[in-house]
Amino acid sequence: MLRTASSPPDAARPRRRRDPATRVPWPVVALASLGVLLFALPLLGLLQRAAWSDLWSDLSAPAARDALRLSIECSLWATLLSVVLGVPLAWVLARGEFPGRALLRALVLLPLVLPPVVGGVALLYAFGRNNGLVGPWLYDTFGVQLTFSKTGVILAETFVAMPFLVLTVEGGLRAIDTRYEDAAATLGAGRWTVFRRVTLRFLAPSLAAGAALAWARALGEFGATITFAGNIAGRTQTTPLAVYLLLETDPGPAVAMSLVLLAVSVVVLVALRDHLFRGRR
């Protein structure tokens, strides 16, 4: 058959055949689908249970309002503390050369895999007023009691959240081409100027990502908080604790607060997608 000049250029191109290597076998597809359901069904359940029209009033209920306010306040302090302590720690891990560095890294990352309740118990026996390692001394010397206080919530949240920041910032520090810092040094910049004007600039995306991850983790903290700081409404009852407690008696605000926590997680995930999934499609 003769092709005419008017035939569209696409018609001449043979249909592309798919590379067999990219075709996924059906058992894999089936199991993967079950896996997706495991994630998707609970989300659907939560969303269909939400009383959208009452969302605002549910969130303004005193119990919910106090819990949300406390959560935001404590999680922000925990994030700040994670940055102030975590960036130097990441620096030591990324650039220090000393025996036992691997051990130190394992210690810092332990809270990532440690059951939070165990973390809470451990915090109790370190900072508890009566039976802690340094708790009694803190109380006698400074009159500071960490257990069952807002400071205790911040400490528990920092304990579980900081590893996320340390891990992210350490990766960021390792990725920096240190020759830029050398270049700044030859241009008369002292160590602080080099850090402020060069290192920190290169580190900014990792630092932001690490802080966001730490904040999201602190916001959702449950186990360590309830074990170490207790569950005192208006003082140590953060949002996850309030959700758990209200679910039996007053599910409306509990679901509303769950949606808030879900929304925060989604926002953090979307904001960090470039950072977390770099190099993937």
Asked if residues 82 and 214 have their Cβ atoms less than 8 Å apart, the reply is yes
Q: What amino acid occupies position 73?
A: E
For position 173 contacting another protein by CB under 8 A, the verdict is no
Nearer Cβ to another protein (68/198): 198
Cβ neighbours, 10 Å, residue 53:
8
Asked if residues 199 and 176 have their Cβ atoms less than 8 Å apart, the reply is yes
User: One symbol per residue from 182 to 221: x for binding another protein (CB under 8 A), - otherwise; what is it?
Assistant: xxxxxxxxx--x---xx--x--------------------
Binds another protein by CB under 8 A, chosen from 91, 148, 180, 244: 180
Nearer Cβ to another protein (278/280): 278
Cα separation of the two ends of the chain? 42
Nearer Cβ to another protein (97/177): 177
For position 99 contacting another protein by CB under 8 A, the verdict is no
Contact stretch for another protein (CB under 8 A) within 48-56, 181-189, 244-252, 266-274? 181-189
For residue 99, the minimal CB distance to another protein (Å) is: 21
Q: How much helix, strand and coil, in percent to the nearest 5, is found in the chain? A: 75, 0, 25
For position 177 contacting another protein by CB under 8 A, the verdict is yes
Closest CA to 225 of 125, 143, 151, 171: 151
Asked if residues 126 and 134 have their Cβ atoms less than 8 Å apart, the reply is yes
Nearer Cβ to another protein (101/197): 197
For residue 275, the minimal CB distance to another protein (Å) is: 17
For residue 235, the minimal CB distance to another protein (Å) is: 44
Nearer Cβ to another protein (140/182): 182
Closest CA to 89 of 144, 150, 158, 147: 158
What gap in Å lies between CA 114 and CA 111, rounded to an integer? Answer: 5
Give residues in contact with another protein (CB under 8 A). Answer: 177, 179-180, 182-190, 193, 197-198, 201
